[in-house]
Amino acid sequence: MAGRKFFVGGNWKMNGTIESGKKLVETIKSAKLDSNTEVVIAPPAIHLLLVKDALSGVEHVQVSGQNAYHKASGAFTGEVSVTQLQDAGIPWVILGHSERRTVFKETDDQTAEKTKAALDAGLSVIVCVGETLDEREKNESVNVVVRQLNAVADQVKDWTKVVVAYEPVWAIGTGKVATAEQAQEVHAAIRKWASDKLGQSAAESLRIIYGGSVAAKNCKELATQNDIDGFLVGGASLKPEFTEIVNARL
Ligand SMILES: O=C(CO)COP(=O)(O)O
């Protein structure tokens, strides 16, 4: 709200084929999407250029990497660099996703280093934060996201090209969506953190989006919350209902 453009990301994770990716793009192209919403699709790296080309000319819809390495080039077998994304015309990258943190053991500092490198390369970044179930039960949710954000803020001073995604780990892929109140509480705490750390005007323009079991049936209520500026959608971004989530504010 407060003049921030609504933002909906579709994180396809490691799903799909060339055929299914093309079909999803067709669904997006044929839908009537809210022109006040910025949409970013993050297909697997091998499908990035295909999806980018298929979406060319579609207004308000861009593509994103799901991860990137901070070095520009070199002997890093299997990695794709921030510079290579930029060179390929991919304007966004998701960094610090909880699956990168938990499955691939990426640390707060690595996420921060990648965020800095991506911004330096000219990309925009969706940086993900969120607590585990254990941390929530210990009342640590805000402390955890603040710790994760502080690591990024130690290296990144200008947040104008950053979107923060609050994705509680316990809500990802589980069908257990955070209630609107639970999500709003952490989003407000993130905005307060941003105001203290980055200044009031940066905090007011920072988009803070929610991720974790977002679906057509729960997106409208979440979208009414003051500090929820959009969504990062996993499972439902692989289905036609994604377009309903894009239109959550209509
Ligand atoms: O991790 C997510 C998006 O990045 C959320 O995934 P789900 O929407 O499948 O819970």
Does 177 map to a domain? Answer: yes
CB 6 within 8 A of CB 245: no
Q: Which of 99, 106, 167, 241 is catalytic?
A: 167
Q: Is the pTM of this model over 0.90?
A: yes
Q: Is 212 in the pocket of ligand 1 (CB under 6 A)?
A: yes
In angstroms, the CA 116 to CA 155 distance is: 6
Does 64 map to a domain? Answer: yes
Question: Three-class SS of residue 62?
Answer: strand
| Residue keyed to tokens 């290579």 | 84
Let me know if 47 is a catalytic residue: no
Q: Is 172 in the pocket of ligand 1 (CB under 6 A)?
A: yes
What ranges in 138-199 are assigned the alpha helix state H? 141-155, 180-198
**Crossing angle of the two packed helices 180-198 and 216-223, in degrees rounded to 10:** 50
Q: Are strands 162-166 and 230-233 parallel, antiparallel or unpaired?
A: unpaired
Residue 240's Cβ-count burial label (10 Å; 0-12, 13-18, 19+) is: middle
ipTM: 0.99
| pLDDT, tens digit (0-9, with 9 covering 90-100), for 110-154 | 999 999 999 999 999 999 999 999 999 999 999 999 999 999 999
Does 51 map to a domain? Answer: yes
Q: Tell me the CATH number at 236.
A: 3.20.20.70
Structural tokens at position 31: 């839908």
Does 1 map to a domain? Answer: no
| pLDDT, tens digit (0-9, with 9 covering 90-100), for 219-231 | 999 999 999 999 9
Tell me what percent of the residues of the chain surpass a pLDDT of 90: 99
Residue 102: pLDDT band (50, 70, 90) is very high
In angstroms, the CA 55 to CA 245 distance is: 18
- Domain total in the chain: 1
Predicted confidence at residue 2, as pLDDT, reads 66
Does 151 map to a domain? Answer: yes
Predicted confidence at residue 146, as pLDDT, reads 98
| pLDDT, tens digit (0-9, with 9 covering 90-100), for 164-198 | 999 999 999 999 999 999 999 999 999 999 999 99
In angstroms, the CA 209 to CA 58 distance is: 22
pLDDT value at 31 more than 90: yes
Q: Which of 47, 70, 97, 187 is catalytic?
A: 97
Does 195 map to a domain? Answer: yes
**Crossing angle of the two packed helices 141-155 and 180-198, in degrees rounded to 10:** 30
Range of the domain at 133: 6-246
Strands (E), the chain: 6-11, 37-42, 61-65, 92-95, 124-129, 162-166, 207-211, 230-233
Name the nearest CA neighbour of 235 among 16, 6, 4.
16
Does 29 map to a domain? Answer: yes
How many angstroms is it from 74 CA to the middle of ligand 1?
Answer: 31
Considering the chain, what is the average pLDDT of its residues? Answer: 97
Does 11 map to a domain? Answer: yes
How many angstroms is it from 232 CA to the middle of ligand 1?
Answer: 7
In angstroms, the CA 37 to CA 234 distance is: 18
